[in-house]
Amino acid sequence: MIVHKNPYFTVNLKDEYYSINFPTEQVLILPVVQNSHILFIKAIRPVFAEPVIELPAGTVNEGETLKAAALRELGEETGIILSDQKRLKPLCSLNTIPSRTAQMLNIYQVDITMKEYETRKPHDGEVAGTLLLTKKQVIQRIQAGEIFVATTIAVCLRNIY
């Protein structure tokens, strides 16, 4: 039985167990700049007073491929507009809430030049800004608790070393 539904997710109840279903696939992008930096976004999240450091991510629109969605989300959230889907390297998927959903997060790495980063366009209104960190700085921010989103941490730790 559906107990809650909105455009972003559905909460189901079956035999006193709640589960979550997302209506579409989700993508997350690991943007690696000049093979030495990771590009993050400062996402505006209503449940947090300050922007949250995350990797670009979002929903796959109806009729859109995973790779097209990844490039669109990268452009919307970082201002870096790329069209060549061959630049996306698929990474191992992750499950964000295994106790509540079987849906997997589709993850891609994209290598970006410093020039592409420096000539980026403005990002959308869901993002307060971007943050370019060296791999060492990423680890320091994770250890300091400044980067605390589990999927962001997992993708970074799994793929930057």
Cross-strand partners of 32: 38, 111
* pLDDT per residue rounded down to tens, the chain (161 residues): 999 999 889 999 999 999 999 899 999 999 999 999 999 999 999 999 999 999 999 999 999 999 999 999 999 999 999 999 999 999 999 998 999 999 999 999 999 999 999 999 999 999 999 999 999 999 999 999 999 999 999 999 998 76
User: Per CATH, the architecture of 24-159 is what?
Assistant: Alpha-Beta Complex (3.90)
Largest CA distance in the chain: 55
Structural domain spans, the chain = 24-159
Q: Does the global pTM surpass 0.75? A: yes
Q: What span, in angstroms and rounded, lies between the C-alpha atoms of 81 and 117?
A: 10
